[in-house]
Amino acid sequence: MDQSKVNDVAAYFDEGYSCSQSVLAAYCEEFGLEQETAFLIASGFGGGMGRLQETCGAVTGAFMVLGLKYGYFEAGNKAAKELTYAKVQEFAALFEERNKTLKCIDLIGEDMRHGDLMQAMARVKEICPKLVKDAAEILEELL
């Protein structure tokens, strides 16, 4: 396992980037994507997609990385499409095995939109460092 990628993901999160940005940025240049572009692409996926607290940002960031590695750009490339979907599903299963869910609100245990945002953000600082590291460790297994 490339522990440096796990450390990079954690460092980006500690700097204040969202979970999705932290994961994608740690891997982007390896796949020819400029870091600034990666930060921009992933910026709407934090907080479970724009603080909707749906799919965890660490997970969506990892899905983007898997797309960079295994994805396709030719519409008829069914083999690459199936491989990409299989890798995404494998990642999801491994993340759920570690964390019981992919859903941000269940992972955080606080409602960012309708609850106490300060309390929710305190939980993010407490919970999410582990989640971004988990995502990177799983990616290291799958890449």
Residue 3: per-residue pLDDT: 85
Write out pLDDT tens, residues 21-68: 999 999 999 999 999 999 999 999 999 999 999 999 999 999 999 999
Residue 55: φ, ψ to 5°: -65, 130
pLDDT score of 1 = 64
* Residue in the structure block whose two tokens are 């299963």: 93
Query: Helix/strand/coil (H, E, C) string of 77-141?
Result: CHHHHHHHHHHHHHHHHHHHHHHCCCEHHHHHCCCCCCCCHHHHHHHHHHHHHHHHHHHHHHHHH
Q: What global pTM score does this model have?
A: 0.95
Dump pLDDT digits (tens) for 71-114. Answer: 999 999 999 999 999 999 999 999 999 999 999 999 999 999 99
